[in-house]
Amino acid sequence: MDGNPDNVQLINELDKSKTDAWAELRSVAEEMTVEDRNVVWTNGGNEHSLNYPAYSERIDKATNLLYTVGAITPLYNWKSNGLPDYLPSMELSVADAIRAATYIVRSERFGDGAIAKAVEIGLLDSILHSLIKWYDVKRKSLDA
């Protein structure tokens, strides 16, 4: 595999059985405030340290829940394939939401600020919206 799986392979990584995590992801997304989205950079009070982003509890929780529901996947080689095209006026496909989630969360490990930038440009909100919308459709089809 080349690290750039097709849309179906990516979507199959999502775990529909994690109903509590999906419900929590929805709550976090719906309760996200302007304050949560205002990421502050700090050095933790140590003037000899580099600044790093201090994310709100909701942003941290959203990031962790993305792992839990399967939206962060090792199938997508984020280093080679990068971030999918995104404009604030567009809605991400579910597969691109998975690509974007994997890219921003994994790249944050190598350099602070990827999640902060995603929050700033509305990408994190778009990721959450696309994933929750997909889950709602899948859940309705399972309930039918």
Average pLDDT of the chain is: 94
Query: Across residues 104-119, what is the average pLDDT?
Result: 96
pTM for the structure as a whole? 0.93
Which alpha helices (DSSP H) does the chain contain, by range? 7-11, 19-31, 34-37, 57-68, 78-81, 94-108, 114-120, 123-143
Strand, coil or helix: 73: coil
Which pLDDT does position 26 carry in this prediction?
Answer: 98
